[in-house]
Copies of this chain bind each other. A is one copy, B any other.
Amino acid sequence: MAVYTEVTDDALRKFAQNLDLGEVLSCKGIAEGVENSNFQLVTEKSTYILTLYEKRVDPKDLPFFLGLLEHLEAKGVACPKPIRSPNGEMIHTLSGKPAAVVTFLSGMWPKRIQMHHVSELGTALAHMHVAGADFGLSRKNTLSVQGWRPILDACKGRADEVIKGVTEELEQDLDDLESLWPHDLPTGIIHADLFPDNVFFRGEKLSGLIDFYFACNDLLAYDIAVCLNAWCFELDGSFNVTKAKKMLRAYGKVRPLSAAEIEALPLLARGAAMRFLLTRLYDWLNTPEGALVTPKDPRKYLQKLRFHRGLEGPGAYGL
């Protein structure tokens, strides 16, 4: 939950006027997004999300993030569309911060994942990968395999406070991941953080993908691996192979996976588990008590990592 910057009514009125949005009817800070200040902005014309970018988003990345949304939306992906000013700008300024206004997507994110969710997700993910193929800008994935060891190193000495013996266990995993990580699979634009709270549904239909602030260029199958972890484990930690199968089948109907991609899935899923385990571990160790944001428990992701490590092949995903 996050509103870090106050916006005055006068400033907002002028801002909306400059963007030709009509009279402002309301603007309420919303308790979503940890990195930025977000507002649900209602004007005479429509409803929008207004975002003020705080420290954790690098302004240099904004042309990529906003350009990507515009590109994907134009290709039919259900994602927010940035509003350009009359002179063509997508990055505006409000209360001294870089700001963007995007169209509002209706829908709610699913708190309990059911079968129809994962098949809709697979389809939408594949469509997004296809639609991103001809996007002109690129952004490196700073949280891919080469970025993991520095995070573990930054936790060192203290990671074992959270989970006994975890440093040694993860160092061995990192050795494997670094030496075996594939470099010849299809690449493109990936979302890289497509958890259920970033996917909206209306009834049984997917109605929107949001929060592209980790989007980057990387292995497309790695995005699938992130989703296997985020959508196909049950609350008790068990892996639901039926959900995985449904998701992968739906994906494959839009963008068929190569044999090499399928073969690599267990390693990619182990890597995806490592990525979220490490950032959660780091946040767990570095969040002051009483902070605004409750850090997520890293232990769940260790379970997922161990599951994928123990597999003999992609058959465990129903393929």
Q: CB within 8 Å of B: which residues of A?
A: 1-3, 6, 8-10, 12, 23-32, 40, 42, 47, 104-112, 200-203, 288-292
Copies of this chain per assembly: 2
The listed residue (B30, B106, B290) touching A290 by CB distance below 8 A is B290
Chain B residues with CB below 8 A from A28, complex form: 30-32, 40
Chain B residues with CB below 8 A from A3, complex form: 1, 31
Question: DSSP majority for the A interface?
Answer: loop
Known: A3-B1, A28-B40, A30-B30. A8 touches B290 (CB 8 A): no
Contact, CB under 8 Å: A30 / B27 = no
Chain B residues with CB below 8 A from A292, complex form: 292
- In the complex, what distance in Å separates the CA atom of A112 from the CA atom of B12? 13
- In the complex, what distance in Å separates the CA atom of A160 from the CA atom of B256? 72
Contact, CB under 8 Å: A112 / B40 = no
Contact, CB under 8 Å: B10 / A112 = yes
- In the complex, what distance in Å separates the CA atom of A291 from the CA atom of B24? 32
- In the complex, what distance in Å separates the CA atom of A35 from the CA atom of B119? 40
Please name the residue on chain B nearest to A104 by beta carbon.
B26
Chain B residues with CB below 8 A from A30, complex form: 28-31, 40
Contact, CB under 8 Å: B26 / A108 = yes
Contact, CB under 8 Å: B112 / A8 = yes
A-B contacts, 19 listed (Cβ < 8 Å): A1-B1, A1-B3, A2-B31, A9-B108, A9-B112, A9-B201, A10-B112, A12-B108, A25-B202, A26-B104, A26-B200, A27-B108, A28-B40, A29-B32, A30-B31, A40-B40, A42-B106, A290-B291, A292-B292
- In the complex, what distance in Å separates the CA atom of A32 from the CA atom of B1? 11
Q: Tell me how far the C-beta of A274 lies from the nearest C-beta in chain B, rounded to whole angstroms.
A: 28
Please name the residue on chain B nearest to A107 by beta carbon.
B26
Contact, CB under 8 Å: A10 / B290 = no
Please name the residue on chain B nearest to A30 by beta carbon.
B28
Please name the residue on chain B nearest to A12 by beta carbon.
B108
- In the complex, what distance in Å separates the CA atom of A8 from the CA atom of B201? 13
Contact, CB under 8 Å: B111 / A10 = yes
Chain B residues with CB below 8 A from A112, complex form: 8-10
- In the complex, what distance in Å separates the CA atom of A109 from the CA atom of B1? 21
- In the complex, what distance in Å separates the CA atom of A221 from the CA atom of B106? 45
Please name the residue on chain B nearest to A109 by beta carbon.
B9
Using A3-B31, A23-B203, A26-B105 as known contacts, list a sample of 17 further A-B pairs with CB atoms less than 8 Å apart, ordered by residue number in A. Answer: A1-B29, A2-B31, A8-B112, A9-B109, A9-B110, A9-B201, A10-B111, A10-B112, A23-B202, A25-B107, A25-B202, A26-B108, A28-B31, A29-B31, A29-B32, A40-B40, A290-B291
